Amino acid sequence: MSTVAPFFAGWMARQRWYATKGRTPVLRVIGSMEETLDEGLVMTLLVIDEAPDKPVLYQVPVVARTSPLPGGDAAFIGSSDGVYLYDGPHDPAYAHALLATMASEKHVEGSDVTADGHRVSDPGRVTRSRVLEGEQSNTSIIYDIEGESHPVIAKVFRVLHHGENPDVTSQAALTRGSSTRVPESFGYLTASWPDPGRDDGAAFGHLAFAQEFLPGSEDAWRVALQAARTSTDFTTAAYELGVATAEVHRTLASELGTVEAGPAEIEGALASMRRRITTASREVPEVGEHADAIRAVYDVVATLDWPGLQRIHGDLHLGQALQSPERGWVLLDFEGEPLRPMPERSRPDVTLRDVAGMLRSFDYVAGSLAQERPRIDASAWASASRHAFVDGYNAGAETDVRAQRALLDAFEIDKAVYEAIYESRNRPGWLGIPLGAIARLVARSAGVARP
């Protein structure tokens, strides 16, 4: 199967997860998997869109039915010759088959595609499924489980990349390590498909991932923002979040191992940081004014002893944490930094990068409130929260990250440079937040100040 129905491209272009807005998709099916069930034919299509300059590969699950799906208007794709096509995640036939494939560790042979289900723990018997609304880049299915108070959530990855997804492998490792600081993992689905651009002609990646869903939890960004807006002390919560982050790092190191930070590893990390400052200087002239000073900071830390490298979160900030009434702080979304290629996101890294990310996030709380009218000065709140987070991390990690102040500063500068690129592209009005951080961090590059 190499083509799709004419109405398919128009439907894809209207989906929130379609990456190339404003263009008509030019689609070609490169592989598919099919399963015949009582409800209809369940198909998973791998569809490449050749409309953008760099083609994008999508996973498009579809259910073909001989009669309309009751209540399925929102998921309706189109019909042809008496066959009704529905977006798979919205159709119970696909939703149940997906979770069953993981739980049974089923091997699937498709047309130019092979897939394997992997079970981490037993999710239980599904009684109902529904799609989580509001997502942009993926589609998540919520499953009610018989006899369980916590539902299961399966994330269906819409845009596919070669390489393992650290959001899957990191959280599965944390579940195997008995961590309660992430939702429990239940399973995942991997696949291989043709890729003529690779030496061996094939690519490998994750199609979906199932884990515990924690309703009633509060997003840490919202909790922190409200506390800062009302001048409510957040130091205890920040301390506990630091402890939780350290616990996650310890478990990841135990389950996935560590490597020594040798000259090649240090140079690899710094090369990425130097490339980012080059990009930022080109796109954001205000960053370019500090480029030489930033490179000088990087030159200094290149001569230091670095701690061991391990799997980390990779994009840690307050928006990646939930405050659960039962479990305390829980970390989410281990996919890593969005601008990095997928294979790089699983590489061992320095845990200080995650610490720096969270420190920047507290600064962002204050920065966002400074944008409001009337302006709210939450700088003292942010400073106290940063101190408390580091204290908690030190307690949980049984180390002192302040002894590595210069290296932590370098990672925080790198994060602020990343933020400057993001804000210049998406929210120019917020550009002052990372620019202020860059100026402050460069000025104290000797490392005498504490977070």
Q: What digits encode the pLDDT tens for the residues 354-407?
A: 999 999 999 999 999 999 999 999 999 999 999 999 999 999 998 899 999 999
Least confidently predicted of 99-103, 314-318, 334-338: 334-338
Distance separating alpha carbons of residues 211 and 182, to the nearest angstrom:
9
Inside any domain, residue 243: yes
Residue 450 lies in a domain: no
Judge contact between 415 and 364, C-beta under 8 A. Answer: no
Query: Do residues 186 and 308 share a domain?
Result: no
Among residues 162, 149, 164, the alpha carbon closest in space to that of 346 is found at 164
Within a domain: 451: no
Angstrom distance (rounded) from CA 368 to CA 362 = 10
**Phi-psi map region of 13: left, alpha, beta (phi>0 left; psi -120 to 50 alpha):** alpha
Q: Is 228's pLDDT higher than 80?
A: yes
**pLDDT tens digits for range 73-94:** 989 999 988 999 999 999 999 9
- Please determine, for residue 451, whether its predicted confidence score (pLDDT) is greater than 80: no
Q: Are residues 348 and 248 in the same domain?
A: yes
* Predicted local distance difference test score (pLDDT) of residue 150: 85
CATH of the domain at 286: 3.90.1200.10
Binned at pLDDT 50, 70 and 90, residue 2 comes out as low
What is the predicted pLDDT for the residue at 384? 98
The angle subtended at Cα 408 by Cα 407 and Cα 410, nearest 5°, is 65
Reply yes or no on whether the pLDDT at 1 is more than 50: no
Q: Are residues 277 and 254 in the same domain?
A: yes
d(CA 371, CA 369): 5
Last residue of a domain, which of 195, 212, 229? 212
Query: Are 139 and 262 in a shared domain?
Result: no
Instruction: Select the more confidently predicted residue: 193 or 6.
Output: 193
pLDDT at 414: 97
One domain, residues 225 and 176: no
Give the pLDDT mean for 84-105: 97
Using CA atoms, how far residue 237 sits from 73, 231, 386, in Å, is 44, 14, 11
The band of 239, judged by pLDDT with boundaries at 50, 70 and 90, is very high
Residue at which a domain ends, from 179, 212, 245? 212
Whether 1 maps to a domain, the answer reads no
Average pLDDT over residues 229-253: 98
188 and 249 belong to one structural domain = no
Q: Is the pLDDT of residue 446 over 70?
A: no
Q: Which pair of tokens denotes residue 12?
A: 């894809």
Mean pLDDT score, 103-124: 96
Based on the fold, state whether residues 401 and 415 are members of the same structural domain: yes
> Residue 362's closest CA among 329, 318, 321, 392?
318
Asked if residue 198 is part of any domain, the answer here is yes
Tell me which residue has tokens 């944008």: 371
Domain assignment of residue 182, given as a range? 6-212
261, 309 Cβ separation under 8 angstroms = yes
Residue 279 lies in a domain: yes
Residue the block writes with tokens 């019909």: 79
pLDDT for residue 382:
98
Upstream peptide bond of 6 is cis (omega within 30 degrees of 0): no
Count up the domains in the chain and report the number: 2
Backbone angles phi, psi at 22, to 5 degrees: 85, 0
Mean pLDDT score of the chain, rounded to an integer? Answer: 93
Same domain, 184 and 296: no
The whole-number average pLDDT for the span 416-420 is 96
Q: What pLDDT sits at residue 278?
A: 96
